[in-house]
A = this chain, B = another copy of it.
Amino acid sequence: MLRNWARLGWGLPYFVTPRNGALLQRFSHKLQGNSAALILRTEKSIDQAVPNPSWSQEMMLQFNRYMEMTKDGSWQKLPSYQSFSDHLPEGPWKEELQNRKYRFFLRSIDGEGKGFEYAMFLKPSEKRVVAIFQIGPYLEGPSGFAHGGAIATILDSTVGASVIYISCRVVTANLNINYKSPVELGSVVLVDTRVDKIEGRKIFASGEVWSVDGQTLHAEATGLFIELQPQKETDSSSSL
């Protein structure tokens, strides 16, 4: 399976793909250790995980609550850009990717507040990421409620973000979602995820989508991620 694999669906990018295996090598010195997720921050790109006029009072309340918790360093806010290329340092790779006009799935809906509005926070000591999501009116499944695919997307993204903290060189093998209660369009939810267990190259992680008052469990998911073996730069197109 690993030979076919070079992808993982989450809100933060990772650097292993058949196409840009070399890219991983180029920046691998920046992806060491536990700071993997944070090193992807770049100063020249616009962080979209910040308040805008579409954010509801509840969204602001939750955002400010977590921002407050970053002050002692126990939590860290993760950046979120519009495309993978925005995470790259300046250079020809970045320029090439920018020309392709790709956009991250979670940042693809035009109009503030229409789609996913979110911010993610990492608590390194617990290998945990909490995301605050405001569910916009363009995420409809059944009338008035979020699409099951939208719920899967926010779980995949946030669980994946907690795994990035362990390793940037992983692929998702499985995502198993139990839907418990519908999420109303316009509401704000908390997505609480963490790495549960590491067995060799297997990383087990899980997460839940909760109402902000913690009273309603909307959905829960487990994920299995596989860490890829280090590869030689010259072998980037075949060793995955």
Q: Which residues of A contact B (CB under 8 A)?
A: 1, 4-10, 13-14, 16-20, 23, 83-85, 97, 100-106, 108-110, 114-115, 137-157, 160, 171-183, 185, 216
How far apart are the CA atoms of A1 and B179 in the complex, in Å?
A: 9
Beyond known contacts A7-B141, A103-B138: 15 more, CB 8 A cutoff: A4-B180, A7-B179, A8-B141, A9-B149, A9-B179, A17-B143, A17-B144, A17-B182, A23-B143, A104-B141, A105-B141, A108-B115, A149-B149, A152-B153, A171-B179
Decide yes or no: A140 and B176 within 8 Å by CB, A149-B106, A153-B153 being known contacts: no
Point out the residues of chain B lying under 8 angstroms from A174, CB to CB: 176-179
Q: Which of B115, B156, B182 contacts A7 (CB 8 A)?
A: B182
A138 to chain B, nearest CB (A): 4
B178 pairs with A173, CB closer than 8 A: yes
A20 pairs with B143, CB closer than 8 A: yes
Point out the residues of chain B lying under 8 angstroms from A155, CB to CB: 149
